[in-house]
Structure 1
Amino acid sequence: MPDDQRAQPTADVAAAEVAAEGLGNGSASPFLPLRQPIFRAVWFASLASYFGGMIQSVGAAWLMTSIATSADIVALVQASTTLPVMMFSLAAGAVSDNYDRRKVMLVAQCFMFAVSIALALTAWLGVMTPWLLLSFTFLIGCGTALNGPAWQSSVGEMVPRPDLPAAITLNSVGFNIARSVGPALGGIVVAAAGVVVAFAVNAVSYIGLIVVLARWRPPVVERLLPRETLGIAMSAGLRYVAMSPNIRSVLVRGAAFGFGAISAQALLPLVARDLVKGGPLTFGLLLGAFGIGAIAGAFLSARLRAAFSTETLVRGSFIAFGLAVAVTGYSTMTGLSMAALVIAGASWVLALSTFNATVQLSAPRWVVGRALALYQMATFGGMAAGSWVWGAASAAYGTEKALVLAAIALVIGAALGLRYALPPLEQLNLDPLSRWQEPKVAVDIEPRSGPIIVTIEYIIREEDVVPFLNVMAERRRIRRRDGARHWALLRDLTDPQLWIERYDSPTWVEYVRQNQRVTQADAAIGDRVRALHQGAEPPRVHRVIERQTDSLPFAPARPTQDMASPMTDPRSA
């Protein structure tokens, strides 16, 4: 990292420390973000929308049990909602990182509003079929996929950084309040008024959030560089996550948890109908018990994180959920099943909120939407696969055995922690270092000119070679994570103390973008590299632009590379 990008103490650093402390020791109240008017308005509007969604889910699941002839089709209702998240979240994350997140959420909410109206009308006309119902729930899932990354990443724009951990917890509390009461209310609505009314209630529930988002006017952030194309933005998100070990571990564990844990929700209509011999009201009560457990888990999460390591908490959630679904599979009593589902709900929110917080605290703002999208893709992909697998297992072996197999899968997911352990839940300072300045060049270039090749020369003593190689391995990860290509470390054959770092960027604008992505947390790596450099001057930096000669057969011979400047500022690589 160049000298002029050294980290400096700022108010944001203190804010990050406060946020990390609040998340780690449970001192931050989950109600603090409600002091912010926009967050409060969105939270209450979202709560109403969550209630509508829960009522619609009960109606769709119960309608499917009435018109479908096999258990696997019933389980596909859950899969049709989660599959779009797996398929489209990365593109949605790229859109949320490159466009106004408020407008993205508005588009998503209006789309789901229109689909919900169509769903209610189709059910009212009496022309619903199993595959038509799955199509409607799939489209609603598409809206959820578009809305999710924008909503989650916009929380940081609604509340101060110290309140961010509390806002994450409060969002979980809001969703699970709806989960605890909404299904029971949905069962009452379906039993008393029918599924058409349940679908209509869901459609109306979108209106409040649409109005709130339409009235919100967040500060406009000046964009200094052109937007990335969708393909480049998606590739950048994939690259960042691939080069971030903490986020990779979350993706693996999230997929494993989603695969096993979705069994409780995917098979719950069959549990209510076949194992405890109930109706739609019983189904709603079972879902309500799951939601009550989730609320309890949300309020206990801070204390549990203070008492246990992140990995211990997640492993415990896997195992507790597995035991809960096993009990649900064997139980024939509504009360016992509800007690088991309370434990399952608490384990659900503890695991998923820990995964979400780890991702948000491991990704800077420029890529947080895509990181969250990839997390959602992994987790919901596991849920979609699990919904199909457990539905097929239920059809083949019975609901009881399917739930026992899901419990075994969750125990295996806990064992994955031996290889993919989650890091301690802490917040790095991922604000841009913001000390890099675009260098002046002597050659006329355009933003799209390139490739740009950068070389940096270091003088390293023989006794420092091993620590130098170790720190350069970390620098290689950071460079590639932020967009550098073809990174290489070279040693001069005539001067063994001379080492050269080399990498390239496809265009000048991508080179500028890469340097603007350097974070405060990355500064320590640059400090370690400079401490090992023994030259009288800082490391020498050259930037060159590649030029081809074969396209100019009649031109005078010229070098294959032109210097952008004979020698550039050594502190601005």
Structure 2
Amino acid sequence: MQSLIALKSTNFRLFFTGQSISLLGTWIQKTAVAWVVYKITGSPFVLGIIGFVGLIPTLLLSPYVGSFVEHSHKYKVMKNTQFLAAIQAFLLALLFYFKVYNISIIILLTLMQGIINAFEVTCRQAMMIDLVDDKEALPNAIALNSAMSNLARVVGPALAGILLSVFGDDFCFISNFVSFIPVIYCLYMMKLPLYESKPHLSNVWSELKEGFRYVKNEKTIFSQLLLLSFFSLMLIPFTTLLPVIAKEVFQGNSKTFTLFESAVGIGSLLSAVYMTKLKQMGKLHKIVIFSSCIMSAGLFTVSVSPGIHLAFWGLVLSGLGMISQSAAVNTYIQLNTDPKMRARVISYYIMAFIGMTPIGSLLIGCMAEFLSTRSVLFIEGVLGILAVTVFVIYSGKSKHADVSTEL
């Protein structure tokens, strides 16, 4: 099948298998942390802090990490990050097993996970091209990677809901620790080309500036990254409020929360499946625009929803738009970036998609303390439409300028 062509490559198949299990454990843990922290504190602001410390390392470290990964043995970096992530999961499992509900320690361990992820995500994206035998299968590999992540987002919260209600929160964290065993095993089973060391520039700052100049000169990539950055700052952090939406807006419980998490995951999975079947890569720029509108519309729907059912479908739309947007930008970058600059440009993509989210989580958490949750969601939807409008106008001017230059 054309939509599974990347799985013909043994290395990608091993990567896909291991990561599928590991990401399932990650989402079980993420869901459990959000629910337990909100149950203990009852504060949207503390949820915002948890989101902030988990993702702020990506914002601060991504440009440096891109340069580091570009000159490092990606396979070794990937193995090391998985070992460190397993240790972090083990420590968190111990914390909850012994019922030590200390918010400061949870925040510290979340920060540790964020630092590890800053390296792991950049490395994983940069080595994707090395995992497929046929380079034409790269877009399919990126789309399957996205589908895998979002299937875990659907199944993980649902499993977390069962584990929380039947076995307790400690079992969720133990499950995540165990899930790292398959991914580490699969990494050791891979057979990758011999590593060729690359000379480092004497000044890392020069590499960072060179990467930024490249991104700025590629007008389409630059504009897409700006749009993605804004959505990551102001719209994507709506996921931080899911426990609040479930408990306060719709007077639900942990099952309502996991239902809403799964709704976002279903939308995300649908978008990822669509991307695996996408054959006309020239549509990517239009997909960025359309998916941004869908996400904004989804948040509008949730903000005015009178009941859980309509809110569920609004969250499905939000998840669909969120992942379609990010996957389209990611694929466009992978296909249109100079191979020598790929890791650095990917680091800017990760900084835009993941790195801006912690600031947004903190901002949205603060807004939810002073405004109603419905008002915050409504404002996010309005800002999304305004941002897309500016993006379309800018894109049209850029194309006109390019045509004028060619003439």
Question: Where does residue 238 of structure 2 map in the other structure?
Answer: 264
State the alpha-carbon separation in 2 of the partners of residues 214 and 93 from structure 1. 24
Matched, 1:288 2:262: yes
Question: Which structure carries more relative contact order (alpha carbon 8 Å, separation 6+)?
Answer: 2
Please show how residues 451-490 of structure 1 align to structure 2 within 5 Å. none
8 Å Cα contact 1:260/1:386 also seen in 2: yes
SS class of match (1:421): helix
State the alpha-carbon separation in 2 of the partners of residues 304 and 220 from structure 1. 32
Change in 2 beyond 3 A, CA 1:138/1:344: same
Question: Where does residue 250 of structure 1 map in the other structure?
Answer: 224
Question: Where does residue 401 of structure 2 map in the other structure?
Answer: none
Question: Where does residue 66 of structure 1 map in the other structure?
Answer: 39
8 Å Cα contact 2:67/2:343 also seen in 1: yes
Match 1:91 to one of 64, 82, 87: 64
- 1:129-161 Cα offsets, whole Å, 9 max, x none, are 223212211211211110111111111111121
Question: Where does residue 122 of structure 1 map in the other structure?
Answer: 95
Which sits farther off after the overlay, 301-310 or 366-375? 301-310
Question: Where does residue 164 of structure 2 map in the other structure?
Answer: 190
**Deviation, structure 1 residue 37:** 1.1
Change in 2 beyond 3 A, CA 1:117/1:260: same
- 1:146-204 Cα offsets, whole Å, 9 max, x none, are 01111111111111211001111111111111111111111111122222111111111
**Deviation, structure 1 residue 423:** 12
Given residue 127 of structure 2, which amino acid in structure 1 is its aligned partner?
Answer: S
SS class of match (2:293): helix
8 Å Cα contact 2:3/2:277 also seen in 1: no
Alignment length (residue pairs)? 398
Change in 2 beyond 3 A, CA 1:241/1:312: closer
**Deviation, structure 1 residue 38:** 1.1
- 1:230-255 Cα offsets, whole Å, 9 max, x none, are 44433332332233323211220110
SS class of match (1:218): coil
Larger radius of gyration: 1
State the alpha-carbon separation in 1 of the partners of residues 213 and 188 from structure 2. 34
Given residue 319 of structure 1, which amino acid in structure 2 is its aligned partner?
Answer: C
- 1:368-416 Cα offsets, whole Å, 9 max, x none, are 1111111111222332222112111111012111111111121122122
Which sits farther off after the overlay, 76-85 or 398-407? 76-85
Match 2:295 to one of 321, 329, 340: 321
Which sits farther off after the overlay, 267-276 or 118-127? 118-127
State the alpha-carbon separation in 2 of the partners of residues 217 and 422 from structure 1. 45
Question: Where does residue 156 of structure 1 map in the other structure?
Answer: 129
Please show how residues 421-460 of structure 1 align to structure 2 within 5 Å. 421=395
State the alpha-carbon separation in 2 of the partners of residues 65 and 422 from structure 1. 44
8 Å Cα contact 1:292/1:345 also seen in 2: yes
Q: Which runs of 5+ in 1 are unaligned?
A: 1-27, 425-469, 472-573
Change in 2 beyond 3 A, CA 1:30/1:93: farther
Please show how residues 464-543 of structure 1 align to structure 2 within 5 Å. none
State the alpha-carbon separation in 1 of the partners of residues 174 and 156 from structure 2. 15
Change in 2 beyond 3 A, CA 1:305/1:34: closer
Given residue 373 of structure 1, which amino acid in structure 2 is its aligned partner?
Answer: S
Question: Where does residue 354 of structure 1 map in the other structure?
Answer: 328
8 Å Cα contact 2:238/2:364 also seen in 1: no
TM-score (norm 2): 0.91
SS class of match (2:200): coil
8 Å Cα contact 2:14/2:189 also seen in 1: no
Change in 2 beyond 3 A, CA 1:241/1:306: closer
Identity %: 25
8 Å Cα contact 2:14/2:187 also seen in 1: no
Matched, 1:370 2:344: yes
SS class of match (1:47): helix
State the alpha-carbon separation in 1 of the partners of residues 230 and 165 from structure 2. 35
Which one has a larger percent strand, Structure 1 or Structure 2?
1
Match 1:391 to one of 365, 370, 374: 365
SS class of match (1:228): coil
State the alpha-carbon separation in 1 of the partners of residues 196 and 169 from structure 2. 47
Question: Where does residue 317 of structure 2 map in the other structure?
Answer: 343
**Deviation, structure 1 residue 214:** 2.6
Change in 2 beyond 3 A, CA 1:307/1:228: closer
State the alpha-carbon separation in 1 of the partners of residues 92 and 395 from structure 2. 43
Change in 2 beyond 3 A, CA 1:196/1:32: same
Matched, 1:228 2:182: no
State the alpha-carbon separation in 1 of the partners of residues 26 and 170 from structure 2. 14
8 Å Cα contact 1:49/1:206 also seen in 2: yes
Which sits farther off after the overlay, 67-76 or 371-380? 67-76
Question: Where does residue 3 of structure 1 map in the other structure?
Answer: none
State the alpha-carbon separation in 2 of the partners of residues 330 and 128 from structure 1. 35
- 1:477-533 Cα offsets, whole Å, 9 max, x none, are xxxxxxxxxxxxxxxxxxxxxxxxxxxxxxxxxxxxxxxxxxxxxxxxxxxxxxxxx
State the alpha-carbon separation in 2 of the partners of residues 123 and 168 from structure 1. 35
SS class of match (2:199): coil
Question: Where does residue 568 of structure 1 map in the other structure?
Answer: none
State the alpha-carbon separation in 2 of the partners of residues 401 and 114 from structure 1. 40
State the alpha-carbon separation in 1 of the partners of residues 276 and 341 from structure 2. 26
8 Å Cα contact 1:253/1:413 also seen in 2: yes
**Deviation, structure 1 residue 52:** 0.5
SS class of match (2:340): coil
**Deviation, structure 1 residue 308:** 8.6
State the alpha-carbon separation in 1 of the partners of residues 396 and 145 from structure 2. 22
- 1:281-314 Cα offsets, whole Å, 9 max, x none, are 2111111111111121122246778599444322
State the alpha-carbon separation in 2 of the partners of residues 311 and 42 from structure 1. 28
Matched, 1:55 2:28: yes
8 Å Cα contact 1:51/1:178 also seen in 2: yes
Q: CA RMSD in A?
A: 2.3
8 Å Cα contact 1:183/1:288 also seen in 2: yes
Change in 2 beyond 3 A, CA 1:382/1:44: same
State the alpha-carbon separation in 2 of the partners of residues 47 and 302 from structure 1. 16
Question: Where does residue 83 of structure 2 map in the other structure?
Answer: 110
- 1:412-446 Cα offsets, whole Å, 9 max, x none, are 2212213543999xxxxxxxxxxxxxxxxxxxxxx
